Each structure stands twice: as C-alpha cells, then as structure tokens.
Amino acid sequence: MKFPGSKLLHHWDLSVQRLSLDDLLRSCQQSGLTGFAEVKFPQSVAMIFYYLGGEVNALYREGPVAYHGQTALERLRSQVTGEDGMISVYELPLDMAHLLRGITNRQKLKETLKGSGELGELLRRMEKAEHTGTLEVQTSLGAAMILFVRGRVSNTYWEASGGTTYEKGEARQRLEEAVDKEEAQLYLSEFSRDVWKTRHEVQTSIRSRLERREETNLSATDQVAAEETTLRNHVLEELERQIPAMVQGFVFDLLTGSIPALRVGLLAEKVPALTMYVSDLVATEDQDQVELLELSTERVAALVAIVPEAQEAIAVLAERSQPTALIGAALSRAVRGYAARLHPARGAISAFGNVTGR
C-alpha cells in the first residue's frame, strides 16, 4: 500500500534489531505520530494507522484473509516476536491521515488504467457512486493517492519514482502524464463510518496493556484531545458573549456529521447533514467550497462556518432579533481564531521518538 506524500521516519530489520510490538506502539503514541506503522513478514503484512498519537485503525493480511481493528492487532502481536520481518514508520499529510482513520476493504481492481481519458471516466464513476475513501494508482513512473469524500475529489497526491511529492493540481497533471505513457494498477479502499466512530476502541485497549501510569497522568493523545475540547468550549463561549441572541452553538465533524458529547435540538440535529449535503453539491456542480451557510426561519437563524484546517464546522443557532450579518461576522472571526489555535500536532510531526529494541 503506497501513500504518496508519506515521509519515512524510522526503519527496523527484525533480524538485526529486536523490537517488541509494545515498544513500537508506545513510541508511536509518545511521539504524537500522524501516519502509520507498516510491519512486513514473509507470509503476512500489517498496518497500524495513527492520528495525533493514537491508534485509530489497524489492518492485518495473511494470504487472502484480512482483519482490521483489535483482531488485526492481536494477530500482529503473535507474529512480531518472530526473527524475520521489517518495520517502517511513516508520517502522513493530515488530510490523508484524517480519511485513513476509517479506511477499510482495500482491494485491487481487476481493471487497469491507460490514458487520461480513462482516468477521467473512472473519476466520474466514483462521483456517481458517491465514493468516500481512496483510489491508489500505481505505475513505474510513480504512484498517486486520490482522496474522495462522497464522490468529490478532496485531494490528490503524486509521488514520482525519485521520491518527489506533488499535491492537488500539479499532482493530477503528473498522474495524467504517467497514465498516458503506461498502464496503471488500481487499488480502491472505502471509508467506514462505523470504523471511524469506534476509532478509540483499538487505542484504549492497547494503551491499557502497555502503559504503567497513574490515572492522573495523561498520555500525549489524551492531552491533545483535552486541549482541543477546551479550545472548542472557549470558542463557543466567546461566540456567546459576542452574540446575545445565541440559542445554541456547537462544533461538528465534516466527514461523519457527529457532534461530540452534546445534546442538541431537532433543528440543530439536522444542521450537520444539511451542511455536508450542500458542501458536496457546491463542490460537484461548481467546483467550489462552502465557507458560510445560512438558514433562516421567522424566529431562528442557523449559520454554519467551515474550518477546513480541522475538517470541522462551527454552527450557531440564534434568535432573529440580532442581524445575521453581525452573527456571520462573529462566526467568521471565531473560525479564524479556532484555526490559528489548533494544537500543533494537527500539522506535520517534525520528529519521531527513538525506540530501544529489546
């Protein structure tokens, strides 16, 4: 599985340097890794995906049989004590890591791809099917990873055979040039909302067996989560001070529409789904992006502002007594402030902690 844009941080040859699975997982957690660890054995391969230092998904394949989640980690644990194998740890761009939190069902397509015309037709099929997940295109000249959100191309990465990585329009151009010259292999993966919603199950069960720490001592992942929760609450409190007519405010995830730990009314409950629908519609029809969405009734105004850096949105429901122009201005300022104060782990991880083999 190739991830254009990934950066190799560390590599171990198990026949030379011993390394336990506990050491590997602990080091990835403590370094706040956003990326993945790849483990290769003669008869099997495994991948553990990380987001801000927490295990959010795991895949294990032995022959034609594949496992994911906790079952994959248990299978891996029984194999990693062998003498032969390779372990590599990679950092990933944040938007790719965000999508890979819920990736599942990766399969090689029977069809191949030759020519930019066939590429365009394939992308239209993905759009019609409203595919959410990834499409990998592999050639001898390089490899591409295309990210889809409900059929819309969210981003494209291209890594040339020499190791240089390109993104977005330039990546698409180089991909087209490559497939015009030679035939490409295709791999398709899906984004499972169920896997994403249970992403903490793997992380929690493994951490409880690895870390001998006092309950009051938060891990790096717990600290990031706590800081971002505090930040969200602070942003909403600031909005409440600036918008006297505010009835309710909340932050929600743009991939799943989930609203963390908050009870909302019937209208507010529908806001995430409406926002996601309109965002997809605008992107598909006009190749544009929604920044601010407004819905008004006789008594209530609902405004939603997108935070692309976090792939989240901030929503405000307010009484119509306050002009929506003022509410929108306050919401736009809140978005800029929220994006500027996101935890540094949301960006690229600059270093990877050393691991001592046992």
Residues 228 and 166 both lie in one domain: no
What are the backbone dihedrals phi and psi of residue 120, each rounded to the nearest 5 degrees, phi first?
A: -60, -40
Is the model more confident about 296 or about 82?
Answer: 296
Mean pLDDT computed over every residue of the chain: 78
Percentage of the chain lying above the pLDDT 90 cut = 18
Closest CA to 293 of 328, 255, 322, 247: 328
The pLDDT value recorded for residue 178 is: 94
Residues 61 and 11 both lie in one domain: yes
Which H or E run contains 169?
Answer: helix 168-181
Q: Give per-residue pLDDT as tens, 27-73.
A: 887 777 888 899 888 888 888 888 777 777 788 888 767 777 778 88
Given a cut of 90, whether residue 207 has pLDDT beyond it is: no
In a domain, 19, yes or no: yes
Taking residues 204-226, report their average pLDDT.
45
Could you give the strand order of the β-sheet that contains 65-68, starting from the edge strand earlier in sequence? 7-13, 86-91, 35-40, 44-51, 54-62, 65-68
Q: Give per-residue pLDDT as tens, 235-270.
A: 999 998 899 888 888 988 876 676 755 555 667 778
The pLDDT value recorded for residue 327 is: 92
Residues 260 and 312 both lie in one domain: yes
The pLDDT value recorded for residue 80 is: 64
Report whether 134 contacts 102 (CB < 8 A): no
Residues 127 and 87 both lie in one domain: no
Both tokens of residue 210? 């690895």
In a domain, 356, yes or no: no
Total domains present in the chain: 3
Can you give the CATH number for the domain in which 237 is found?
Answer: 3.30.450.30
The pLDDT value recorded for residue 118 is: 94
β-bridge mates for residue 86, sequence order: 13, 40
Residues 232 and 160 both lie in one domain: no
**Rounded distance, CA 54 to CA 33, Å?**
8
The pLDDT value recorded for residue 308 is: 82
**Rounded distance, CA 229 to CA 207, Å?**
21
Residues 64 and 130 both lie in one domain: no
Most confident of 32-41, 75-84, 190-199: 32-41
344: which residues sit within 8 A by CB, 6+ positions away?
none
Given a cut of 50, whether residue 184 has pLDDT beyond it is: yes
Residues 5 and 98 both lie in one domain: yes
Q: Give per-residue pLDDT as tens, 107-161.
A: 889 999 999 999 999 999 998 988 888 899 999 999 998 988 778 887 888 988 8
Taking residues 278-298, report their average pLDDT.
80
Report whether 33 contacts 89 (CB < 8 A): yes
Taking residues 321-337, report their average pLDDT.
90
In a domain, 205, yes or no: no
Given a cut of 80, whether residue 353 has pLDDT beyond it is: no
Closest CA to 223 of 22, 35, 32: 32
Boundaries of domain holding 175: 104-191
Q: Which of 52, 68, 102 is the last residue of a domain?
A: 102
The pLDDT value recorded for residue 195 is: 59
Q: Are strands 185-191 and 133-139 parallel, antiparallel or unpaired?
A: antiparallel
The pLDDT value recorded for residue 198 is: 53
Residues 108 and 73 both lie in one domain: no
In a domain, 351, yes or no: no
**Rounded distance, CA 254 to CA 63, Å?**
36
The pLDDT value recorded for residue 209 is: 32
Burial degree of 163 (CB within 10 A; 0-12, 13-18, 19+): exposed
Both tokens of residue 354? 């050393």
Residues 173 and 247 both lie in one domain: no
Residues 335 and 254 both lie in one domain: yes
Is the model more confident about 223 or about 136?
Answer: 136
Percentage of the chain lying above the pLDDT 70 cut = 78
In a domain, 209, yes or no: no
Could you give the strand order of the β-sheet that contains 300-307, starting from the edge strand earlier in sequence? 246-253, 312-319, 300-307, 292-296
Residue 68, Cβ neighbours under 10 Å: how many?
21
In a domain, 46, yes or no: yes
In a domain, 349, yes or no: no
Residues 25 and 111 both lie in one domain: no
DSSP E strands: which ranges in 195-351?
246-253, 292-296, 300-307, 312-319
Q: State the pLDDT confidence band at 232, using cuts at 50, 70 and 90.
A: confident
Given a cut of 70, whether residue 349 has pLDDT beyond it is: no
Residues 236 and 139 both lie in one domain: no
Q: Which of 45, 69, 102 is the last residue of a domain?
A: 102
In a domain, 272, yes or no: yes
The pLDDT value recorded for residue 103 is: 72
How would DSSP label each residue in 114-141? -SHHHHHHHHHHHHHTT--EEEEEEETT
Q: Which of 83, 102, 121 is the last residue of a domain?
A: 102
302: which residues sit within 8 A by CB, 6+ positions away?
267, 268, 271, 294, 295, 296, 315, 316, 317
Given a cut of 50, whether residue 218 has pLDDT beyond it is: no
